[in-house]
Amino acid sequence: MTKEQVLKKYFGYDKFRPLQADIIDTILAKQDCMVLMPTGGGKSICFQVPALVMEGITLVISPLIALMQDQVQSLKANGVPAAFMNSTLSMVELRTIEEQCKSGELKLLYISPEKLFSNNYLGFIKTLNVNQIAIDESHCVSNWGHDFRPEYIQLKVLKEAFPSVPMVALTATADKVTRKDILTQLGIPDAQIFISSFDRPNLSLAVLPGRNRLKIIHEFIAKRPYQSGIIYCLSRKNTEEVAEGLRKLGLRAMHYHAGVDAQTRSEVQVAFIKDEIQVIVATIAFGMGIDKSNVRFVIHYSLPSNVESYYQEIGRAGRDGMKSDTLLFYSFGDIITRKEMIQKSELPDEMKEVQFAKLDRMKQYAESEICRRRILLSYFNEEAQNDCGNCDVCHNPPKKFDATIFAQKALSAVARAEEKVAMGLLIDILRGAQNRAIYERGYQNLKTFGVGKELKYEEWADYITQLLNSGVIDIAYDERHALKLNSVSWQVLKGERKVDLVRFEAYDVKRARLDEE
Ligand code: ADP
Ligand code: ZN
């Protein structure tokens, strides 16, 4: 069968979405690839269709048991012979699936990394006619990602075991550094990368100061009596308190977190999907693999730990493409709590540093006065042509001034310092600071040394952050946060493009606006 016939026969669709056909052709040509698509973008089809076109069996590595079970169930419902192997199965069940693998009747085998590396399952898999290896949620293999899973590290051996079998790494969330790392970790450095647009124009974006949160949420939901949504909280205890508070206000709300027993969790999920519960108040445990396309709002009760998580979480709203709303509460208290959480975590120091840097980007997003969608897209290295018109900043735009000269000074200093300096040192160069870091590297001899004396340190920090947020400059977390030039930077340097920024506002003024409840 051709890929089009498979799509029609097993999935009932007439057309591929953008990129799907190209990705499938790449896999059918036995080449490795990486697929970046937002949640709901249609990643699964990209490996499920080739699995059915080719002879043999496709191996799908998936970290989440619930997700694996859902996918296998819906494949079976469509008449696709598929099965999963994970720790929930009995010996007898495992034996049955092994037999089905051997006889060649299965087309897709989902397996968790734990299972794959236990009892020499890999040895068993090697005896099969494997035609493709799909790594779902592949960002879990990277230290730079936000959901690192140590058991994913071992997946390296797959490419060694099956050098000529095409491998496809899929994820809904990876910035540039994470992408590069995923390919290295999986041993497929030359994989072709497919990135579909991350833009979700149907989601409105808004940030509010973290005051009177419960009251504001109540008013927000009261305006939407027939719509359901998710509220993300920072801690388990927090989800319980907020759900309780909303119930007292007369809303059908339930909490959900990993500490709730499995039975209750699945009841809550089902009730939510059937619209019997209007609001789920959850930790990040909720959402992965929840197939509810008409979630109409996602609220963040507190600041998420990084932009990737935030984007993935708001992405659970409006998967049907209909207009949906998102709301983020932000306070200085949230930042402090998040910092403490990172500090207390068991991560090695250099990883903590990455987490702090990512938290900082999240904070900048919340504080920014640039179109929020522009920031999100630039975070994923996508260039937004226009402001979106569907975020709070667009609805209430701040006054801007022509800051092209400042941008050019900063960018040319980045270029002269050979893209090796982080923001602090760059500002020292611009302001002509006399300190050891400067002299050690000889930066006092750069042509750009001291060209930005007219601005205070804080002003430069604010403007460079705005440049970063609007995609005029890039940052490399894996190179000690060195600032990097991109194609937009060069347009600005050559005078082909103007840069407008919001006038610097002193820290205490911002702070007064944001003060805690
Ligand atoms: P992801 O894994 O990227 O979150 P899925 O693969 O679950 O997304 O797909 C999301 C939804 O889009 C599913 O309901 C899927 O059946 C549907 N879908 C995927 N590809 C197509 C297509 N070519 N035409 C129509 N619907 C599609
Ligand atoms: Zn906007």
Average pLDDT over residues 388-393: 95
The number of the ligand 1 atom at minimal distance from the alpha carbon of 17 is 23
Task: Convert 18-30 to b/e letters by CB count within 10 Å (16 or more is b).
Answer: ebbbebbebbbee
The predicted structure's pLDDT at residue 517: 40
- Structure tokens, 236: 């388990």
CA of 305 to the centre of ligand 1 (A): 28
Binding site membership of 42 for ligand 1 (Cβ less than 6 Å): yes
Which ligand is the nearest neighbour of the Cα of 39? 1
Mean pLDDT, the chain, as a whole number?
91
pLDDT in tens, 483-497: 999 999 999 999 999
* Residue count (the chain): 517
- State whether residue 219 is helix, strand or coil: helix
Task: Flag whether the ipTM exceeds 0.90.
Answer: yes
CA–CA distances in Å: residue 213 to residues 56, 218, 220, 325, 467: 54, 9, 10, 16, 31
Q: Which SS3 state, helix, strand or coil, does residue 256 take?
A: strand
Question: What pLDDT shows up at residue 480?
Answer: 84
**What's the mean pLDDT in 163-168?**
97
CA dihedral 108, 111, 117, 119 (to 10 degrees): -80
Q: Helix, strand, or coil here: 164?
A: coil
Residue 478 has pLDDT above 70, yes or no: yes
Q: How many helices (H) and strands (E) does the chain have?
A: 23, 18
Tell which atom from ligand 1 comes closest to the C-alpha of 44: 6
Q: Are strands 108-111 and 82-85 parallel, antiparallel or unpaired?
A: parallel
Ligand 1 atom nearest the C-alpha of 11 is 16
Q: What sign results for the dihedral spanned by CA atoms 463, 466, 471, 473?
A: positive
Ligand located closest to 75 CA: 1
Q: Say yes or no: CB of residue 173 within 6 Å of ligand 1.
A: no
- Please indicate whether residue 40, judged by its CB atom, sits closer than 6 Å to ligand 1: yes
Residue 513 has pLDDT above 60, yes or no: no
Which pLDDT band holds residue 507 (cuts at 50, 70, 90)?
low
Q: Is the distance from the beta carbon of residue 39 to the nearest atom of ligand 1 less than 6 Å?
A: yes
pLDDT at 516 over 50: no
Rounded to an integer, what distance in angstroms lies between the CA atom of residue 80 and that of residue 362? 42
Mean pLDDT of 164-176: 89
Which protein residue has the closest C-alpha to ligand 1 atom 20?
Answer: 42
Whether 358 has a pLDDT exceeding 80, the answer reads yes
Q: Is the pLDDT of residue 287 over 70?
A: no
Using the predicted structure, report yes or no on whether residue 283 has a pLDDT greater than 50.
Answer: yes
For residue 485, what pLDDT is reported? 96
Instruction: Indicate whether residue 13 lines ligand 1 (CB < 6 A).
Output: yes
**Each residue's pLDDT tens digit, 42-98:** 999 999 999 999 999 999 999 888 788 889 999 999 999 999 998 888 999 999 999
In the structure, what pLDDT confidence band is assigned to residue 285 with cuts at 50, 70 and 90? low
Mean pLDDT of 231-247: 95
Task: Point out the ligand 1 atom lying closest to the alpha carbon of residue 71.
Answer: 7
Residue 508: per-residue pLDDT = 55
Instruction: For residues 9-37, give the mean pLDDT.
Output: 95
* pLDDT over 50 (residue 143): yes
Q: What is the pLDDT of residues 109-136, one digit of tens each?
A: 999 998 898 877 899 999 999 999 999 9
pLDDT tens sequence across 459-472: 999 999 999 988 89
Note the pLDDT of residue 258: 85
Query: What is the per-residue pLDDT for 348?
Result: 85
432 in contact with ligand 1, CB cutoff 6 A: no
Alpha helices in 346-456 (DSSP H): 349-367, 372-379, 392-395, 404-416, 423-431, 436-441
So what's the pLDDT on residue 148?
77
Between CA 123 and CA 303 the distance in angstroms is 45
The secondary structure of 53-121, three-state, reads HCCCEEEEECCCHHHHHHHHHHHHHCCCCEEEECCCCCHHHHHHHHHHHHHCCCCEEEECHHHHCCCCH
User: Residue type at 334?
Assistant: D
